Amino acid sequence: MAVNVAGLVSVIVFYLVVMGTGFWASRKSKRAEARCTATQSEVMMVGGRNLKTWVSIFTTTATAVGGGYIMGSAEVVYNPTRGLVWCILPLGFFVNLNIVGLFFVKPVRSKNYVTIMDPFQEKYGNRLTACLFIPFLMADVLWVASVLAALGGTMSVILDISSEVSIVISAAVAILYTLLGGLYSVAYTDVIQLVLMLLGLWFCVPFAMLSPATVSITNTSLTSLFQEPWVGSIQVEDLGAWLDEFLIVSIGSVCYQELYQRILATSTVLQAQVTCCISAFISVILVIPSVLIGAVAASTDWNQTSYGLPTPYEEGKAGSILPIVLQHLCPQFVSLVGIGALAAAVMSSIDSALLSSSSLFARNFYKAVVRTNASEREILWAVKVSILVFGVIATALSMTSNSVFGLWILSVDVMYTVVCAQLLAVLFLSRHVNRYGALGGLATSAILRGLAGEPSLGIMPVWTLPGDRLLPDGSLFQGFPFRTAIFLISIASILLWSKAALWVFTRGYLPPHWDVFEVRRPGADALRREIGELRMEESKEKKEQLVSGEGASEGKMEENSH
């Protein structure tokens, strides 16, 4: 089959629209930079903290509802070994966004942090916080890889071009407009992408459901016809795994810098809370087309379609089921609309994750550890170079997996098992933890997660837990909620290591010169916080002086002209 020229042209037009929006937003970024008192790097990372409410809602929703969310949900519903009851992403994100809005927004936004790692830096100092940057980076790179894999599968099916080529082109476009304008480019392109996603997917659903090769999805919801019912079922022995996946999404996702980048760009705490709660409802609405398309795929006699037999699941293409349905069950013009919607979903997540990881790198690693006296220009270059480097790494990783859902879950897995307990401790248990506890908890969770293995990467666990079993295809099913167990152990270990360190040094069981983290020094944490606040005030004063100086010089020029 030749390259789908019409489809290729439509994708190019879409990318040009996105690029145009990115260019416009970059100009807006420069104007905002001249008006506000924040530094250049802060404008790139969180704008001028003046995002309009409707823009913040759109960009927060688009960040959550990306390619992994859209295609992963369709994949799970279609998969005969899973089904709708295993589609935990919509419910998980709904709970997650509401939890963030109710409990996390106020302590983060009220202190005017720039990244979610700032509270770690305030509590533990620069060098220990730099260690925590690694799991944040891993999660963001896996996130980008999952959505790029989604786009590669889509374009290879509908346009008949190499998935590798489409992945590289899409990543290049996202990297380019993210480099141009930072948060403003990302936020305003998200508005366009979310609208295209919403209209495009809903436009495709009726055509897929009315295909002659498809029976009513109500008939196959609970009855086996072409495969197992698409509603699916949860056996008693699978409850642990289901709960584990649900908690991964609903609790583990509270750590993502992508989400806090939007929260920290709002003007008030109330606006940030409203943004989270409204985005939670919209994210559920946006997944409905994906669920319906997954159900349609499970209700289709593929032998009556141009796809033929064996079925997509039997060929290991369940991860690309959404574009396969658009290509083989819908008219060509409908599939073109669908690919635009999917490309929008993917791009809205790529740019967010790239800006997120680069912001953490530049502010909390490069500026804090590598070059403590780095200028604003140097920090901006660190952001831009890291966007490019992390984008290339994620692009390479996206070509190694067939499962969009698997890559996405692995991303959240890292945050849940390694980072989530650390964030809860530093925000809500700050008086009871110290740097020894943070380091001990990080080591404990990382070691336990490594020993638990990851079958999707070919890494087998070193132990057998209750509920573990081999599936008919030879893969290992881990039925025990080991990720949640690691999360709980991590919280306990942070508290225990903190108390143990305090006890051995205050009681004199270890000599004072061994206390490298100064746990015996009273008020050490408070002193670090005061120093951080003073530095923030100094940077604001310098910016204000610069702005006032420019205003005064302009006034003198006007007087001289008169």
pLDDT score recorded for residue 542: 55
Query: Positive or negative, the Cα torsion across 238, 241, 244, 248?
Result: negative
1 exposure class (CB count in 10 Å sphere: 0-12, 13-18, 19+): exposed
Q: E strands, 87-237, where?
A: none
Give the model's pLDDT for residue 325: 93
pLDDT at 35: 67
Residues in the chain: 562
Structure token pair of residue 465: 């837990």
Residue with tokens 């109500």: 218
pLDDT recorded at residue 242:
94
- The residue type found at 418 is V
Q: What is the pLDDT of residue 167?
A: 82
Q: What is the predicted pLDDT for the residue at 136?
A: 85
DSSP secondary structure code for residue 48 in this structure: T
pLDDT for the residue numbered 401: 65
Helix (H, G, I), strand (E, B) or coil at 334: helix
In the chain, where are the structural domains located?
A: 5-459+473-543
Q: Which amino acid is at 233?
A: S
- In angstroms, how far is CA 450 from the centroid of its own chain? 22
| Structure token digits, residue 133 | 């940057």
Which of helix, strand or coil describes residue 470? Answer: strand
Helices within 399-464 (DSSP H only): 404-414, 420-428, 435-452
C-alpha 84, offset from chain centre: 23
Query: What six digits make up the tokens of 488?
Result: 């709980």
Q: What is the pLDDT of residue 71?
A: 83
Cis upstream peptide for 310 (omega within 30°): yes
For the chain, which residues score pLDDT lower than 50? 527, 556, 561
Reference 546, options 384, 376, 383, 379; nearest CA is 376
316 Cβ neighbours under 8 A, 6+ residues apart = 402
Per-position DSSP letters for 487-536, written without gaps between them: HHHHHHHHHHHHHHHHHHHHTTSS-GGG-TT-TTSTTHHHHHHHHHHHHH
| Residue that has been written with the tokens 């942090």 in this structure | 113
What is the sign of the dihedral through the CA atoms of 449, 455, 460 and 461?
positive
Query: For the chain, how long is the longest CA-to-CA vector?
Result: 87
- Find out if CATH 1.20.1730.10 is the number for domain 5-459+473-543: yes
Residue 498 CB contacts under 8 Å (≥ 6 apart), including other chains: 432, 433, 434, 436, 437, 438, 440
CB atoms within 10 A of CB 283: 23
What pTM was estimated for this model as a whole?
Answer: 0.84
Distance CA 136, CA 131 (A): 10
